């Protein structure tokens, strides 16, 4: 057993490789990997220090360096390698580099020119954040990993995109914006907190909208979605407080949690017929929502999907729905009318809690499970019809009338 553990540790060590302590070669410091003879550019003094490469103004990173008779290929720009290099004005990255690390050039406040080669595949979180004088940048097609907030605080930069990705719109942008045709993905936080953005046109080429892509765009009043959109990310349009209506094209198959949470002016929603699940808090606290069209095809109305939609007065549940999740309609205080289909199997805990103006609800005999935890509590106007087998098994004490059949 001990022998097996020894050889396992030996194999792990061999895969990790040997990294030497940081060495300075020419003007730059590197972490060297002796196993694969690669190098990562690293910081000179310590991360984020004001004297980090203080004398550096124009940076031309070599593709190969030599140390003690060995040649090392420069493959990456390390974590915060040039962060806070306030005198740096231009950067040329060699065609050997594949990764620009987290905070790689963060807060290089005088940086005006960056050349990124086609070898780069990954640009990590906040790599160029707070480079306040950077006017523009070209992201090569080789890049397939885009870190969050890559250009956060770069408010004078031109919109950043390439033929695949839309990456960043400065938060100071005002008015309408049309995403160029051909782009297939809107990356995470690409338009987040663009509070003066009023309208966005998403072309037919776009297939995915990333996490928090338009979150906090409080002035965004309308969105035109293209016909090939398939997925909408987590909190993609949350807190778009001026958005009044949304129609999800029938190409949309996936909508992640909280996609339209707290869109407080939203009054009309049409949901895609390809969408299987209305996800967790998808339309939570959309307090002015009046009209929701749920097409045949939707199977699950998820946990807290419409929580706090106090303006909703009527909703029709199609014959494809099998599950109404926990707290799905909790605090829909003005909901008056709802019909449940014969496809319905499950009603979750607190599903209709505090729907105080709901007057009538018939639970079809297809339903086999109703959570014990107060699904109809505080529904004081409700005349509820239940299959007889739920007698004594479901809390109905707050209902105005209960009829078993």
d(CA 223, CA 208): 15
Residue 62 in domain? yes
Domain total for the chain? 1
Per-residue pLDDT, averaged over 121-149, amounts to: 97
Residue 29 in domain? yes
Per-residue pLDDT, averaged over 373-395, amounts to: 93
Residue 86 CB partners (closer than 8 Å, separation 6+): 50, 54, 107, 108, 109, 110
d(CA 326, CA 114): 51
Instruction: Tell me if 125 sits within 8 A of 105, measured CB to CB.
Output: no
Per-residue pLDDT, averaged over 49-56, amounts to: 88
Angle (CA) 296 302 305, round 5°: 95
Residue 103 in domain? yes
10 pLDDT above the threshold of 70: no
Residue 147 in domain? yes
pLDDT band at 373 (very low <50, low <70, confident <90, very high): confident
DSSP category for residue 359? -
Query: What is the pLDDT, as a whole number, of residue 395?
Result: 87
Residue 171 in domain? no
Residue 97 in domain? yes
pLDDT band at 17 (very low <50, low <70, confident <90, very high): low
Query: What is the pLDDT, as a whole number, of residue 181?
Result: 97
Residue 189 in domain? no
Domain holding 4: CATH number?
A: 3.80.10.10
Q: Pick the residue with more confidence: 132 or 11? A: 132
Measured over the CA atoms of residue 339, residue 324, residue 381 and residue 263, the dihedral's sign is negative
128 pLDDT above the threshold of 70: yes
Query: Mean pLDDT of all residues in the chain?
Result: 94
8 pLDDT above the threshold of 50: no
Query: What is the pLDDT, as a whole number, of residue 11?
Result: 43
Residue 303 in domain? no
pLDDT band at 7 (very low <50, low <70, confident <90, very high): very low
d(CA 303, CA 199): 30
pLDDT band at 5 (very low <50, low <70, confident <90, very high): very low
d(CA 142, CA 370): 52
- Find the domain containing 12 and state its range: 1-158
């Amino acid at each position: 057993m001990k022998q097996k553990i020894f050889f396992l540790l030996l194999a792990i060590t061999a895969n990790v490789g040997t990294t030497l302590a940081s060495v300075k070669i020419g003007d730059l410091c590197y972490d060297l990997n002796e196993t694969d003879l690669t190098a990562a550019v690293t910081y000179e003094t310590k991360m984020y220090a004001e004297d980090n490469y203080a004398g550096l103004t124009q940076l031309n990173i070599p593709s190969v360096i030599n140390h003690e008779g060995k040649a090392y290929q420069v493959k990456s720009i390390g974590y915060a390698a040039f962060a806070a290099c306030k005198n740096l004005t231009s950067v040329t990255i060699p065609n050997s580099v594949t990764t620009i690390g987290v905070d790689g050039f963060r807060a290089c406040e005088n940086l005006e020119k960056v050349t990124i080669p086609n070898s780069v595949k990954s640009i990590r979180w906040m790599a160029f954040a707070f480079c306040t004088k950077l006017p523009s940048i070209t992201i090569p097609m080789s890049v397939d990993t885009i870190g969050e907030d890559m250009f956060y605080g770069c408010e004078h930069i031109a919109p950043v995109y390439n033929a695949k990705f839309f990456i960043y719109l400065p938060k100071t942008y005002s008015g309408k914006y049309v995403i160029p045709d051909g782009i297939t993905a809107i990356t995470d936080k690409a338009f987040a907190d663009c509070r003066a953005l009023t309208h966005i046109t998403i072309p037919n080429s776009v297939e995915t909208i990333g996490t928090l892509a338009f979150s906090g765009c409080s002035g965004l009043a309308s969105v035109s979605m293209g016909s090939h959109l398939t997925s909408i990310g987590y909190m993609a349009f949350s807190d778009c407080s001026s958005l009044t209506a949304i129609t999800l094209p029938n190409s949309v198959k996936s909508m992640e949690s909280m996609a339209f949470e707290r869109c407080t002016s939203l009054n009309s929603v049409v949901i895609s017929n390809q969408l299987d699940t209305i996800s967790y808090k998808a339309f939570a606290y959309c307090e002015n929502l009046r009209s929701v069209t749920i097409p045949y095809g939707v199977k699950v109305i998820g946990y807290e999907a419409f929580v706090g939609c106090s303006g909703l007065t009527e909703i029709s549940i199609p014959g494809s729905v099998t599950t109404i999740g926990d707290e799905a309609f909790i605090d829909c205080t003005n909901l008056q009318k709802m019909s449940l289909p014969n496809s319905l199997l499950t009603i979750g805990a607190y599903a209709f809690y505090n729907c105080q103006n709901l007057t009538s609800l018939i639970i079809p005999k297809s339903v086999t499970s109703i959570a014990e935890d107060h699904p109809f509590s505080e529904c004081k106007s409700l005349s509820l019809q239940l299959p007889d087998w739920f007698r004594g098994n479901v809390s109905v004490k707050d209902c105005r009338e209960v009829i078993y059949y």
